Structure 1
Amino acid sequence: MIEIKNLSKNYDDKKALVDLNLTVESGKIFGLLGHNGAGKSTTIKSLVSIHKPNSGSIKINGMELSQHRSEIKKMITYVPDTPDVFLQLTASEYWNLVAKAYDLNDEDILPLRKKLVELFHMENRQNEVMSNFSHGIRQKAVLIASLLSDPAIWVLDEPFQGLDPQAVFDLKQLMKVQANKGKTVLFSTHDLQMAQTLCDDLAILKSGELIYEGSMTNLRKQYNNESLEKIYLQLTDSDDSKLFNEIEGEVNA
């Protein structure tokens, strides 16, 4: 379980997060939604210790992150929004490096690694240097690395970008598998249809502030089972229908 309490983060004079409170339960898929600059990536990077918050606390299974950082890092794996990591290595070398970081032996990871490589059709690419890969192939390599330790908490920042349709389907299934095993899965996305079909719970952020947290089911009940897209636009005051009508009037004038 992840518990975030009164988390705030500033970048100079800009408030990226303002007293954020979230609870992410184990065994569920939790989505972070919001416009660019809403605070999604800042929340994730605070959780995985890339950013240090100005105030507030993060607890993982009851342990305070600031006090148990090394121990908690072993429980979490992170898929960044850009997979441009260790590009001088082959995919196989990169996976070996990640395994060592989690104190895993080759024997520990080989069966799972083999299955993941096959799932993402990387059999013939694993000995290539990652700088030669397209964005989508790099993303697959990073996804494989992130699952080698069978993490208790799997954190993904915009993970579907650049993936082909088959890989998108496979990733969604893997997220469900992890949640069904009692793991915590947290991801950010701009894809509202994806969130509607995949998330058990979600949080919607606007300008660093939380404007909704709860289950997808309850959210849609509150809005007469409208689509998440329509609900999101209402919550974030982003419905541009009037503006589109005005533009259409100008075009037809």
Structure 2
Amino acid sequence: MTLEIKDITGGYSAVPVLNNVSFSVKKGELTGLIGLNGAGKSTTIKHIIGLMQPFSGTISINGQMIKQNPKAYRQAFAFVPETPVLYEELTLKEHIELTALAYGLEKEEAMKRALRYVKAFRLEEKLEWFPAYFSKGMKQKVMLVCAFMVDVPLYVIDEPFLGLDPLGIHTFREIVSEKKKQGAAILMSTHVLSAAEKDCDNFVVLHNGQISHSGTLANMQEALAMPGASLDDLYFRLTEEVITL
């Protein structure tokens, strides 16, 4: 296992948002984290990246927990948030250099790695640009460049398709496929179910801070007695069950 979450209960202040959540993301697999708004997806991600500490349970990456070695734990994953977070006073090139510093990479090697993704996302003419001149989609691409330029066991990506143009989405998918072949584990939260069905190896469905379903598309089809159903249809069935409850 690369990412392993065991019996996590956690939330804000004394109010639990997650209740006994357990799942894993294996090497070479892309796991889709899906659920209604407020289901606990963002809270789960915040616990994984160390912005929140659970009330109980454990989270480990390659067997290592954040309390054991915070720096090593944080260098074991790369995170792409739903809303791009960039430093307004730094150029794209300087963001790459800052990422290299955070992960202990030599500047030349880091730039060599990054330029491959800069070119893939068609940003090679924007290296000296500041974020103020970037569109939302371009900012998203900068975040993806900074994430994929580092070789880490785990990538955590929140809503990657929002703001990306069709070519950007195609490039993202190609890079994800490559990272999987290299043995990386990827956790992706998304509401774009058609893309998730096409790209993800398995799914974790959250509802009210608990896992309602998990496994492959075939597993979910069997559990809901909907053979051959699309992820959209399965999700709508789950939504209907939630409303009925």
Secondary structure of the structure 2 residue equivalent to 1:124:
helix
User: Is it true that 1:190 corresponds to 2:184 in the alignment?
Assistant: no
Any conservation in 1 of the 2:29–2:185 contact (CA below 8 Å)? yes
Matching residue of 1:247: none
CA distance in 2: counterparts of 1:107 and 1:39, whole angstroms: 40
Matching residue of 2:69: 68
CA distance in 1: counterparts of 2:12 and 2:111, whole angstroms: 42
Matching residue of 1:232: 235
**Letter of the structure 2 residue corresponding to residue 50 of structure 1:** L
Matching residue of 1:39: 40
**Larger gyration radius, structure 1 or structure 2:** 1
Q: Which runs of 5+ in 1 are unaligned?
A: 243-253
Any conservation in 2 of the 1:88–1:131 contact (CA below 8 Å)? no
Matching residue of 1:246: none
Question: How far did residue 156 of structure 1 move?
Answer: 0.4
The aligned runs of 1:18-167 (5 Å cut-off) are 18-167=19-168
Q: Percent identity of the aligned residues?
A: 32
Secondary structure of the structure 1 residue equivalent to 2:126:
coil
Question: How far did residue 69 of structure 1 move?
Answer: 2.3
**Letter of the structure 2 residue corresponding to residue 235 of structure 1:** L
User: Is it true that 1:209 corresponds to 2:200 in the alignment?
Assistant: no
Any conservation in 2 of the 1:57–1:65 contact (CA below 8 Å)? no
Any conservation in 1 of the 2:11–2:43 contact (CA below 8 Å)? no
Question: How far did residue 160 of structure 1 move?
Answer: 1.3
TM-score by length of 2: 0.93
> Comparing 115-124 with 64-73, which one deviates more in the overlay?
64-73
- Tell me how many residue pairs correspond in the alignment: 241
Change in Cα spacing, 1:65 to 1:84, as seen in structure 2 (3 Å) is closer
**Letter of the structure 1 residue corresponding to residue 214 of structure 2:** E
Any conservation in 2 of the 1:156–1:187 contact (CA below 8 Å)? yes
TM-score by length of 1: 0.90
CA distance in 2: counterparts of 1:10 and 1:73, whole angstroms: 20
Question: How far did residue 198 of structure 1 move?
Answer: 0.6
Question: How far did residue 44 of structure 1 move?
Answer: 1.0
Change in Cα spacing, 1:54 to 1:46, as seen in structure 2 (3 Å) is same
Question: How far did residue 239 of structure 1 move?
Answer: 8.5
CA distance in 2: counterparts of 1:49 and 1:65, whole angstroms: 7
CA distance in 2: counterparts of 1:94 and 1:228, whole angstroms: 37
Any conservation in 1 of the 2:96–2:111 contact (CA below 8 Å)? no
Give CA deviations for 1:45-70 in whole Å, capped at 9, x if unaligned: 11111111222110111222332322
Secondary structure of the structure 2 residue equivalent to 1:8:
strand
Secondary structure of the structure 1 residue equivalent to 2:124:
coil
CA distance in 1: counterparts of 2:3 and 2:198, whole angstroms: 22
Secondary structure of the structure 2 residue equivalent to 1:31:
strand
